[in-house]
Amino acid sequence: MRQNKKNFLKKVKGVFEPLLFSREYLKNKKWIIYLIIAFAILSTATRLLVPIIIGDIINSLESRNFNAIYLEIEYIMLLAVLSAIASFVVNFGAQYTSQIYAYNLRKRVVNSMVKKKTKFFHDKTSGDLLSRTTMDIDASRNFIMNSLSQLIPTMLIIIFAVGYLLYINVVYSLFFLATVPILIYVGVKFQKKQRPHWMKIRDTYGVMTESIQEDITGQRTVRSYLQEEPQIDRFTGITDTYYGEYMNVAHLRGIYNNLMPFIISAAATAVIFYGGYSSIVSKTDVGGLVAAVNIFTMVTFPVSFLGRLIAFSENARAGIGRIKGVLDRDLDEDVLTSGDFPKSNGISIRGVKYKRGAREILKNVDLEIPPESFVCLTGETGSGKSSLVNLIPRLEDPSDGQIFIGGVNVRDIPLSSLRNHIAIVPQEISLLSGSISENIIFGRNGITEEMTRRAAKIARIDDFIESLPEGYSTIIGERGITLSGGQRQRVALARAIASNPRILILDDATSSVDPETELAIFSRIVKSIEGITVVLVSLRYSAMKYASTAYELENGEISELQNVEEISYAMEKDGFKNETDL
Amino acid sequence: MKQTYDEIEESYIKTLRGRTALKRLLKDMAKNRKQTAILVASVMITAIAATFSPLAIGDAVNGVATGSFKIIIEFSLVFISLALIQFGSNRFRVLSSTILAQGTVKNLRDRSFKSIQHVPISFFSKVKAGFLISRMTNDGETLGEFLTFQIPSVVSGMTTVIMSIAIMLYLDFNLTLYALIVLPFLSIFTLSLQGKVRRNYLRTRKTIAAITGNLAENISSIRSIKAFNVESYTEGKFDGLNTDNLNANIKASRLSSVYGAIVRIIEYTGIAIVVFAGAIQLKAGLISIGILVSFIFYVQEFFDPVIQLSQLYNSYQSSIVGVGRIYGIIDSKKEAALDGEINVSSLNDSIVLKDVNFAYDDSDALKNINLAIKKGENIGIVGHTGAGKTTLSNLIMKFYTPQSGEILVDGKNLSEINTESYRNLISPVLQEPFLFRGTIYENVKIAAPDKSEEEIEKLAGDFNLDRIFSKLPQGLETNVGELGRSLSEGQKQAIAILRALCRDPQIIIMDEPTSNIDPYSEKFIFQSLEKFAREKTLILITHRFSMISLVDKIIVLQNGEIVESGTFPELREKKGIFSQMYDILYGNRGESLS
Domain ranges of chain A: 2-327, 347-580
> Is any Cβ of chain A less than 8 angstroms from the Cβ of B531?
no
Among A224, A278, A289, A391, most B C-beta atoms within 10 A, so best to mutate, is A224
Give the tens place of pLDDT for each residue, B233-276: 999 999 999 999 999 999 999 998 999 899 889 988 988 998 89
| Spatial separation of the C-alpha atoms in residues A480 and A474, rounded to whole Å | 8
Alpha-carbon distance A542 to nearest alpha carbon in chain B (angstroms): 6
> Is any Cβ of chain A less than 8 angstroms from the Cβ of B246?
yes
- The C-alpha angle A331, A335, A339, rounded to 5 degrees, equals 135
Give the tens place of pLDDT for each residue, B490-499: 999 999 999 9
- The C-alpha angle B357, B361, B364, rounded to 5 degrees, equals 40
| Spatial separation of the C-alpha atoms in residues B132 and B406, rounded to whole Å | 32
Those of residues 178-237 in B touching chain A at CB distance below 8 A are 208, 211-213, 215-237
| Cβ neighbours of A252 (radius 10 Å) | 20
3-state secondary structure of A512: coil
Q: B356 and B406 in contact (C-beta within 8 Å)?
A: yes
Those of residues 489-518 in B touching chain A at CB distance below 8 A are 489-491, 493-494, 499, 503, 512, 515-518
Q: B550 and B533 in contact (C-beta within 8 Å)?
A: yes
Q: B472 and B461 in contact (C-beta within 8 Å)?
A: no
Those of residues 98-127 in B touching chain A at CB distance below 8 A are 98-99, 102-103, 106, 109-110, 113-114, 116-118, 121, 124-127
Reference B550, options B581, B584, B517, B513; nearest CA is B513
Q: A221 and B434 in contact (C-beta within 8 Å)?
A: yes
**CB spacing of A478 vs B128 below 8 angstroms:** yes
Please tell me the predicted confidence (pLDDT) of residue A132: 92
3-state secondary structure of B563: strand
Residues of A in contact with B567 (CB under 8 A): 582
Give the tens place of pLDDT for each residue, B22-76: 999 999 998 999 999 999 899 889 888 887 887 788 788 778 778 888 888 888 8
**CB spacing of A221 vs B430 below 8 angstroms:** yes
Alpha-carbon distance A107 to nearest alpha carbon in chain B (angstroms): 7
Domain ranges of chain B: 13-336, 350-553
Across the beta sheet with B426-429, the strand order is B426-429, B507-511, B537-541, B378-383, B553-558, B561-566
**CB spacing of A261 vs B279 below 8 angstroms:** no
Please tell me the predicted confidence (pLDDT) of residue A350: 95
pLDDT, one tens digit for every residue, chain A (582 residues): 556 667 777 777 888 899 999 999 998 889 999 999 999 999 888 888 887 888 888 888 888 888 888 899 999 999 999 999 999 999 999 999 999 999 999 999 999 999 999 889 888 888 899 999 999 999 999 999 999 988 888 888 888 888 888 888 888 888 888 999 999 999 999 999 999 999 999 999 999 999 999 999 899 899 989 899 999 999 999 999 999 999 999 999 999 999 999 999 999 999 888 888 888 887 777 777 878 888 888 888 889 889 989 999 999 999 999 999 999 888 888 888 888 899 999 999 999 999 988 788 999 999 999 999 999 999 888 889 999 999 999 999 999 999 999 999 999 999 999 999 999 998 888 888 889 999 999 988 889 999 999 999 999 999 999 988 889 998 887 666 778 888 899 999 999 999 999 999 999 988 888 877 888 999 999 999 989 999 999 988 778 888 999 999 988 889 888 776 666 554 444 343 333 332
**CB spacing of B137 vs A250 below 8 angstroms:** no
Residues of B in contact with A138 (CB under 8 A): 138, 141
Handedness of CA B476, B480, B486, B492 (dihedral sign): positive
Please tell me the predicted confidence (pLDDT) of residue A570: 46
Please tell me the predicted confidence (pLDDT) of residue A571: 44
Of B483, B489, B569, the CB nearest to A217: B483
Of A110, A113, A382, the CB nearest to B491: A382
* CA closest to B108 among chain A residues: A239
Residues of A in contact with B208 (CB under 8 A): 134
B350-553 matches B13-336 in CATH topology: no
Report the topology of domain B13-336.
Answer: ABC transporter transmembrane region fold (1.20.1560)
Residues of A in contact with B296 (CB under 8 A): 54, 57-58
Those of residues 1-20 in B touching chain A at CB distance below 8 A are 5, 8
Alpha-carbon distance B349 to nearest alpha carbon in chain A (angstroms): 21
Residues of A in contact with B106 (CB under 8 A): 239-240, 242-243
**CB spacing of A107 vs B98 below 8 angstroms:** no
Among A70, A272, A335, A424, most B C-beta atoms within 10 A, so best to mutate, is A272
Q: Is the pLDDT of residue B170 over 80?
A: yes
| Spatial separation of the C-alpha atoms in residues A194 and A189, rounded to whole Å | 9
What average pLDDT score do residues B416-425 get? 91
Alpha-carbon distance A450 to nearest alpha carbon in chain B (angstroms): 19
Query: pLDDT > 70: what percent of chain B?
Result: 97
Alpha-carbon distance B166 to nearest alpha carbon in chain A (angstroms): 22
The DSSP line for A410-454 is GGGS-HHHHHHHEEEE-SS--PPSEEHHHHHHTT-TT--HHHHHH
| Spatial separation of the C-alpha atoms in residues B507 and A249, rounded to whole Å | 51
**Segment of A257-261, A511-515, B468-472, B589-593 carrying the highest mean pLDDT:** A257-261
From residue A350, alpha-carbon distances to A13, A363, A407 in Å are 54, 11, 11
**CB spacing of B102 vs A572 below 8 angstroms:** no
Alpha-carbon distance A1 to nearest alpha carbon in chain B (angstroms): 33
**CB under 8 A, 24+ apart: contacts of B255-258:** B255/B193, B255/B196, B255/B197, B255/B200, B256/A91, B256/A95, B256/B197, B256/B200, B256/B313, B256/B314, B256/B317, B257/A87, B257/A88, B257/A91, B257/A92, B257/A95, B258/A88
The DSSP line for B311-348 is HHHHHHHHHHHHHHHHHHHHHSPPGGGG---B--SS--
CATH number of A2-327: 1.20.1560.10
> Is any Cβ of chain A less than 8 angstroms from the Cβ of B559?
no
3-state secondary structure of B399: coil
The values of phi and psi at residue A171, to 5°, are: -65, -40
| Spatial separation of the C-alpha atoms in residues B367 and B359, rounded to whole Å | 9
Handedness of CA A22, A25, A27, A32 (dihedral sign): negative
Alpha-carbon distance B287 to nearest alpha carbon in chain A (angstroms): 12
Residues of A in contact with B60 (CB under 8 A): 272, 276
| Spatial separation of the C-alpha atoms in residues B386 and A490, rounded to whole Å | 11
**CB spacing of B128 vs A266 below 8 angstroms:** no
Length of chain A: 582
Residues of A in contact with B233 (CB under 8 A): 442-444
Of A222, A386, A578, the CB nearest to B117: A222
Burial-class residue A283 by CB neighbours within 10 Å (0-12, 13-18, 19+): exposed
Of A240, A269, A485, the CB nearest to B390: A485
Q: Containing H/E element for B564?
A: strand B561-566
Q: B379 and B353 in contact (C-beta within 8 Å)?
A: no
| Spatial separation of the C-alpha atoms in residues B369 and B558, rounded to whole Å | 11
**CB spacing of B254 vs A290 below 8 angstroms:** no
Among B124, B133, B570, most A C-beta atoms within 10 A, so best to mutate, is B133
The values of phi and psi at residue B291, to 5°, are: -65, -40
Residues of A in contact with B545 (CB under 8 A): 579
Please tell me the predicted confidence (pLDDT) of residue A496: 94
Residues of B in contact with A516 (CB under 8 A): 384, 580-581, 584
Handedness of CA A139, A141, A144, A146 (dihedral sign): negative
- Considering the four listed CATH numbers 3.40.50.300, 3.40.50.720, 3.40.1160.10, 1.20.1050.10, the one that applies to the domain covering A347-580 is 3.40.50.300
Please tell me the predicted confidence (pLDDT) of residue B588: 44
> Which CATH architecture group holds B350-553?
3-Layer(aba) Sandwich (3.40)
Those of residues 278-297 in B touching chain A at CB distance below 8 A are 278-279, 282-283, 289, 292-293, 296-297
Alpha-carbon distance A2 to nearest alpha carbon in chain B (angstroms): 35
Within 13 Å and on the Cβ side, how many CA atoms surround B582? 27
Residues of A in contact with B279 (CB under 8 A): 61, 66, 69
Q: B536 and B505 in contact (C-beta within 8 Å)?
A: yes
Band of the pLDDT at B2, cuts 50, 70, 90? low
Of B261, B447, B512, the CB nearest to A485: B512
Q: Which distant-in-sequence residues (6+ apart) come within 8 Å of A124 by Cβ?
A: none
Give the tens place of pLDDT for each residue, B192-225: 988 898 899 999 999 999 999 899 888 888 888 9
ipTM: 0.89
| Spatial separation of the C-alpha atoms in residues A18 and A315, rounded to whole Å | 10
Q: A501 and A476 in contact (C-beta within 8 Å)?
A: no
Give the tens place of pLDDT for each residue, B327-360: 999 998 887 666 788 899 999 999 999 999 998 8
